[in-house]
Amino acid sequence: MERAETLAAVRRLLELYNGITIDFVKPMSGATRIVFKASDQVSLARVMYCSLAANLPSHVWSASPGETDRDRADPGYLRYEFRVPDESGVAEPPNELEILGIYLVWDLAHRDVLDRPSANRLLTAWRGAEI
């Protein structure tokens, strides 16, 4: 699967989580940024677990226009970011983006949010263990 297709698939997978909304996906020097907000803490925990399992760097910041700590700490303004490195240094597949996708698929399929045939198609494309 090409990188653009993989990015689109990972975006769709993230949007299957309750309360996860993608702000944007865009390239930067040497990586691609996936920025999202989360209104559901359980979904956030599951997504962050998947990123940690994939050894993918994540960042969090406040997009609040306010100046006080209270304004900046408002969960509605918190943004979460994955920085997915470009594939140039990857010797063998799967790469970090595919590994993130694999963990998301496993989580979603085990909870019956994603059907098994769809899950296994993605897992096969990313060289992950099928369910």
Residue extents of the structural domains in the chain: 3-125
Q: Among candidates 109, 110, 113, which has minimal Cα distance to 121?
A: 109
Q: Which of 96, 98, 92, 60 is nearest to 79 (CA)?
A: 60
Give residue for tokens 């689109």.
8
Tell me: the pLDDT tens digits for 74-117?
888 999 999 998 875 555 779 999 999 999 999 999 999 999 99
Per-residue pLDDT of 22-47, as tens digits, reads 999 999 998 999 999 999 999 999 99
Q: Which CATH architecture has domain 3-125?
A: Alpha-Beta Complex (3.90)
Token digits of residue 69: 């700590």
- Contact in structure between 6 and 126 (CB atoms under 8 Å): yes
pTM, full prediction? 0.92
